[in-house]
Amino acid sequence: MRRYLIRRVVQAVFMLFVMSIVFFTLLHLIPGGPDAVIGANNPHITPIQRAAIRHRFGLDQPVPIQYLSWLGNALHGDFGISFSNSLPVAQELAARIPATLELFLTALGFALIMAILLGVTAAVKQYSITDYLITVLSYIGISMPVFWFALLLQELFGVQLGLLPVFGRTAADTTSFTNLEIFEDYVVHLILPAIVLSLLFIATWSRFLRSSMLEVIKQDYIRTARMKGLGARQVFFRHALRNALIPLVTVVAISFGGIAGGAIITETIFAWPGLGRLFLVAVNFPDYPTLLAYLLFGAASVIFFNLVADILYGVIDPRIRYS
């Protein structure tokens, strides 16, 4: 187990290192790279000013040297300064994490509850009307473009019914609010984005849980438990569900790795001040230091949570052995 873990961590670090080279080269060698962005919006810039800015960002040096100095800084947690607002990139990213994490955790938690409810119901009542209905809904959930779902909810709950706020994380002015009102304000702002973000997770996880439930029910130990006289309900929830959840744990952990890309759509449509919006602004600028840091952050979270998923799987299921 320990040797397996060490090997996987070394592999992950090596992979990130290679990716940093690829991303860096890609972003610096393309036409319209960082060099071309400097002064692109300012027709009055003099060559001397341009040279000064290039020097400030280190763009006057050969790309390999630029990479090495970037890498040296990055290993100390310094990812350069943003082209768009001259603030440290690392600080900008860190400032956005809480908002995205809040949205992501709420959505995943909600999705998990819904997926267990729907998946178990569909498995218990296999081939019933309820089962078919849940199947149809999950098919629609998988095929639905997320941004359209978001627009529909905005239109329905925000515009037509006027029930829920459709933009932002808090009301514009919260100074007169009591503590309870501030909390309420947070919750109502969270509802729609969290539902939108959870849609795809609910649809895929409930399908997944349904089939893993049906797989487990066929096992001998379930028949043994029933033979010993335990009730159907008890066998289902105490014996079957607990085993059926094991593979779902890894799927949930892997989903967590998608935090960098997963929230872009939802955050943009609901004007949620998280990582996804920071990224979209950076792409449109284009703000290369931020993009490079974001790409690596995204890759690192995918790799890290894949590793977590593998380890969790072994911890929860003693039948798994690492070699």
Contact residues toward another protein (CB under 8 A) are 15, 18-19, 27, 30, 32-33, 139-140, 142-148, 151-152, 155, 159, 258, 260-262, 264-265, 268, 279-280, 283-284, 286, 291, 294-295, 298-299, 301-303, 306
Of the pair 156, 187, the CB lying nearest another protein is at 156
Quote the least distance from Cβ 167 to another protein, whole Å: 12
Quote the least distance from Cβ 287 to another protein, whole Å: 11
Quote the least distance from Cβ 280 to another protein, whole Å: 7
For Cα atoms 221, 227, 230, give the angle at the middle one, nearest 5 degrees.
Answer: 90
Of the pair 22, 232, the CB lying nearest another protein is at 22
Of the pair 5, 280, the CB lying nearest another protein is at 280
Q: Which of 188, 186, 197 is nearest to 256 (CA)?
A: 197
Quote the least distance from Cβ 95 to another protein, whole Å: 19
Q: Which residues pair with 120 in a beta bridge?
A: none
- Please identify which residue in the block is written with the tokens 């187990």: 1
Quote the least distance from Cβ 139 to another protein, whole Å: 6
- Based on the number of CB atoms within 10 Å of its own CB, is 36 exposed (0-12), middle (13-18) or buried (19 or more)? exposed
User: CB-based contacts of 50: which residues, under 8 Å, 6+ apart?
Assistant: 38, 39
Of the pair 33, 39, the CB lying nearest another protein is at 33
Of the pair 151, 188, the CB lying nearest another protein is at 151
Of the pair 139, 221, the CB lying nearest another protein is at 139
Quote the least distance from Cβ 33 to another protein, whole Å: 8
Of the pair 83, 236, the CB lying nearest another protein is at 83
Quote the least distance from Cβ 143 to another protein, whole Å: 4
